[in-house]
Amino acid sequence: MNQDHNWQDLSPESKVVASGRPAKKADGELNPPIALNSTFHEGGPIGYGRYGNESWSALEESISILEGGKTLIFSSGMAAISAVFALLPEGAVIVAANNGYQGTTTLLKKLHESEKLKVKFVNLANLDETLAAIAGSQMLYLESPINPLLEVVDLPKIISAGKAAGCGVAVDNTLATPLLQNPLALGADIVIHSVTKYLSGHSDILLGSLSTNDSALYSRLEQSRRYGGAIAGPFEAWLALRGLRTFALRMQRSQENALELANRLANDPRISKVRYPGLPSDPYHLLAKSFMRGFGAMISFEVKATVEQVDLMCNSSKLITNATSLGGVESIWERRRRWPTESTTVPENLIRFSVGIENVDDLWADIEQAFNSAKIK
């Protein structure tokens, strides 16, 4: 890998461009290859295609430089999350969000029901409730902002309380991204990404990552990937790194669009509530400002209309895609409660909106057009 940089001196905008490149040499390649090999001549550090891959290492280096620690990529965000839960012994107690990302919550409910883990489901946005649950727990599993209600969790306070109590702390940083917060720097043991989302940014692959500063933990997670087998495809890793080159730029543009649209939605009589931590009126605004470097590009809003009208509105947009997922260059929205696994704390008329990098006035015109098609006045 390229050793020419003092990474700590560079901004994220430069890190995403300069990291994860082969070492400099005459006629050397600027970009890492798509390394398509299961098999390696004996005697080297990789050994076999399930243990390591040049395309993985390049992406891992880049995520490490952005997030701190050392990184392992996995076949999906959920594969990475599963490797985290697999660290815990049978019957271990874990604190997690009662309304977090539905994939994680669904998995934790299953682990709890089968008594593999004992999960204390709490409202992570409620500081007192979360701090009270730490005693007797082995792991705190955090997510902030929480998907899809966009509540901001007091990460600095909760992470330090968890560590002081001897708890392992893992943070899903998918929505905030390393541009806005670095949980390892706040003391967390593991940072998780669904690389599927903002880091890769083009809605064309699934990948996950885990980063940690703890070398013993890194080894255990690496063994889990090696023998659990949830490895990334080299092509996916290569595409993710190609997408990551513009991550800082995409995120800045998406955030600008999100703030503008959140303001317009907040002043619109057809909307009963807008959740976006960047709005000064948002209950999490000051907390977010206290430790985050931005407010992200996800907006959730509730429409004054029937469920059928909200579904019709989502289906009527032309520029905005009605789909699940987030973090791509394309704006995407959906009515979250269309998923039976979504938390019932999420209102039926709530639309989760992943704001992309399109022209903001075009996006607003599409929203207007969708309101009109659904006869929402």
Ligand X SMILES: *Cc1c(COP(=O)(O)O)cnc(C)c1O
Q: Which residues are catalytic?
A: 50, 101, 172, 197
Instruction: Please give the Cα distance from 208 to 327 (Å, whole number).
Output: 14
CA-CA-CA-CA dihedral for 279, 296, 156, 120, to nearest 10: 100
**What single-letter amino acid sits at 324?**
T
> Of the candidates 57, 130, 182, 194, which one interacts with ligand X according to CB under 6 A?
194
- State the first-to-last Cα distance of the chain, in angstroms, to the nearest integer: 57
Q: Which of residues 59-78 bind ligand X (CB under 6 A)?
A: 76-78
Q: Which is nearer to ligand X, 61 or 172 (CB)?
A: 172
Binder to ligand X among 85, 101, 121, 295 (CB under 6 A)?
101
Min dist. Cβ of residue 148 to ligand X (A): 9
Question: Which residue lies nearer to ligand X by CB, 143 or 342?
Answer: 143
Q: What angle do CA 348, 153, 165 make, to 5 degrees?
A: 130
**By C-beta, is 151 or 271 nearer to ligand X?**
151
Closest C-alpha to 79, from 107, 98, 49: 107
State which of residues 206, 259, 297, 314 lies at the interface with ligand X (CB under 6 A): 206
Radius of gyration of the chain (CA): 21
Q: Does 196 bind ligand X (CB under 6 A)?
A: yes
What's the token pair of residue 163? Answer: 């560590």
Is 296 a residue that touches ligand X (CB under 6 A)? no
How far is 100 from 204, CA to CA, in rounded Å?
A: 24
Q: For ligand X, which is the closer residue by CB, 197 or 225? A: 197
Among 22, 47, 103, 233, binds ligand X (CB under 6 A): 103
Identity of the residue, 99 or 196, whose beta carbon is nearer to ligand X in the bound complex: 196
Q: Least distance (Å) from ligand X to the CB of residue 325?
A: 7
Question: Which of 310-333 are b and which e, b meaning 16 or more Cβ less than 10 Å from the residue's Cβ?
Answer: bbbbbebbebbbbeeebbbebbbb
Site map 120..149 versus ligand X, x via CB under 6 A: -----------------------x---x--
* Distance (Å, whole) CA 137 – CA 270: 44
183 binds ligand X (CB under 6 A): no
Question: Footprint of ligand X on this chain (CB under 6 A)?
Answer: 76-78, 101, 103-104, 143, 147, 172, 174-175, 194, 196-197, 206, 208
